[in-house]
Structure 1
Amino acid sequence: MFDRLKERGFEIEFSSHAEAILGVDFPEVAERLESVLLASTIPIEEIIGSGGGETKGTQRLRNALAGHEWRKHNFVVQKIIDGVEREAQSHEIDHVKTFDAGTIALEIEWNNKDPFFDRDLENFKRLHADGGISLGIIITRGASLQDSIGTLVRRFADEKNINSHDDMERIGLNPTRRQIRDVVKRVTRTKNPIPFRDAWSDQFVSDKFGAATTHWSKLQDRVRRGVGNPCPLVLIGLPSSIVTFGEDQADVQKLLDDGEED
């Protein structure tokens, strides 16, 4: 299962018999999800241009799932005693699809603060306990992507010949005053100043993709502690190979435009 994803460097983990449940009750889910993920790419321009936030690439992944009827849904769980509602809780999930065998919930955590994993896993746990879903899926940045994000950003800076904030403006980047101040401080300090390119790359990565954001190891930590248990879970880590360089600029611009329209 997910063999083609594994060959491309995607990380896949299952818990609480999720692999058996998928294989027996939802065989079409793994095949369709694999095809959607294999077709997904994120040009480096999107990562830089988004400022580290959700890229058009992840938005297109959401749209591809929605195109296969994985849609946002708000589950409402009510407690009623003698016809009187005593309690109600709602759990909004970004991607939900119901099949003959049951319902599957899926969340994409590209780059949120890592407590969002607690929210997702607790929602899955409650919905599974109440019979609302059969299993949950979480897609996030994989270890190879998290570990190489600094190298990818620096490669972008090298290829674009970024040596000043004027160069950043030249390619359409607009850092905040705080970001400018932090970079300039490291470049102009008396002791151990560093080149602008190094300062900007380091600042961008630490500011936007730090250890306290949603990525593979943070997700694994929670699942191994039992967060979300006993809901069956499928964890998918996006690899560094999903980030592309050197795509035709007209194609990249079309992707950016498509994302804006979406």
Structure 2
Amino acid sequence: MTLLACIHDKAPLIEARDPDLGDLFPPGFLDLYEVHSYRNAARILAYACTPEFREITERLMEFRIRTEDIVASGGNKSQIAKTMERMLNPLGWNETRIRGDLFITKMIVTHEEKRRVAGKNRGQTVTEQRQREELYKVNGFIDGHKIDFVKGRVSFDLEWNSKDQTFDRDLYAARTFYECGIINAGVLLTRSAELIPLFTEVARRVEMKNFQNKYGASTTWMKKLLYRLDAGRGGGCPVLALGIRPAVVSDFEEWKDSHPVVRQTATFDVDTGAEDEDDLW
């Protein structure tokens, strides 16, 4: 082992992920959701955006998914996304876009030497400073960034089953809202890897050849989000990452009783490709 390697091994670790969540969440919340807080997002939400944080956590405590919603064929918007809309839209959480042009003021300072022609300092050379301004415009500097739900100074995105590159779009949108001073923090809800045994069991009981691909390694699982957050793709925006755990699926045991096994084995691998994403940038 080289000396440089030894030094690197001893270097203190800097992480944006918060080591402690405290008691910020209501009882039972962590049974339903995997929680990761970045840049003090949980504390910012709990103390600086208290009404919005309470609404999100209360609605998520009520939020449930039916197994049939998991099996249902895809479309522009899943039943799961529609359920979330029905819960949040009446409370004032609405899809929000921002766009804007950038105006740049260029201030030019010039210095000019002049000789005084009158007064007691007549004949002396002095330097006069003058300033003029030029205005420039960059069209579409912020171009239509969209977030599923925004209220007050909090954003909330749900990614149930999209291509994992969607996380890049979501994080870029959240950091743009944050850098523009529109939000204090963002929340992103997706699937926890703890759902994999449940999904594997579903795959054994449905006649869908593409079920594993539909929810495969290149779709929106928590690991794919954490990889991006750990790599700093959220910028300086505080982000609360939430992963849906099996307890949110309300009827799974009843669904199994009415759906006998149709194949003995079903592999469900979502643990590949998280570190091979340089081609996204």
TM-score by length of 2: 0.65
Q: Which residue of 2 aligns with 1:66?
A: 89
Q: Which residue of 2 aligns with 1:210?
A: 216
Question: Which letter does structure 1 place at the counterpart of 2:174?
Answer: F
SS at match of 2:188: strand
Q: Distance in 1 between matches of 2:194 and 2:65?
A: 15
Question: Which letter does structure 2 place at the counterpart of 1:94?
Answer: D
Q: Distance in 2 between matches of 1:112 and 1:225?
A: 20
Q: Which residue of 2 aligns with 1:138?
A: 188
Aligned mate of 1:116, from 143, 163, 166: 166
Give 1:219 deviation, angstroms. 0.5
Give 1:52 deviation, angstroms. 8.7
Question: Which letter does structure 2 place at the counterpart of 1:26?
Answer: C
1:38 aligns with 2:61: yes
Deviations 1:138-177 (A, max 9, x none): 01011212453111343x44xxxxxxxxxxxxxxxxxxxx
Aligned mate of 1:242, from 248, 255, 272: 248
Residue identity over aligned pairs, in percent, reads 27
Deviations 1:211-254 (A, max 9, x none): 1101111111111111112100011111112222337xxxxxxx
Question: Which letter does structure 1 place at the counterpart of 2:222?
Answer: W
TM-score by length of 1: 0.69
May I ask how many residue pairs the two structures share in their alignment? 199
Q: For 1:64-103, what aligned pairs fall within 5 Å after superposition?
A: 64-81=87-104, 85-88=137-140, 89=142, 90-98=144-152, 103=153
Q: Which has the higher strand share?
A: 2
Q: Distance in 2 between matches of 1:54 and 1:141?
A: 16
Give 1:57 deviation, angstroms. 2.8
User: 1:96 touches 1:106 (CA, 8 Å); kept in 2?
Assistant: yes
Q: Which residue of 1 aligns with 2:32?
A: 9
User: 2:52 touches 2:151 (CA, 8 Å); kept in 1?
Assistant: no
- Residues 140 and 36 (structure 1 numbering): CA distance in 2 closer, same or farther, change over 3 Å? same
Question: Is the radius of gyration larger for structure 1 or structure 2?
Answer: 2
Q: Distance in 2 between matches of 1:239 and 1:75?
A: 32
Q: Distance in 1 between matches of 2:27 and 2:160?
A: 21
Q: Which has the higher helix share?
A: 1
Deviations 1:77-109 (A, max 9, x none): 3212467642222211111112xxxx1111100
Q: Distance in 2 between matches of 1:11 and 1:117?
A: 17
User: 1:54 touches 1:111 (CA, 8 Å); kept in 2?
Assistant: no
Give 1:34 deviation, angstroms. 1.6
Stretch of structure 1 that moved more, 62-71 or 46-55? 46-55
Give 1:41 deviation, angstroms. 1.5
SS at match of 1:42: coil
Unaligned runs of 5+ in 1: 158-199, 248-262
User: What value does the CA root-mean-square deviation take over the aligned residues?
Assistant: 2.2
SS at match of 1:107: strand
- Residues 143 and 57 (structure 1 numbering): CA distance in 2 closer, same or farther, change over 3 Å? same
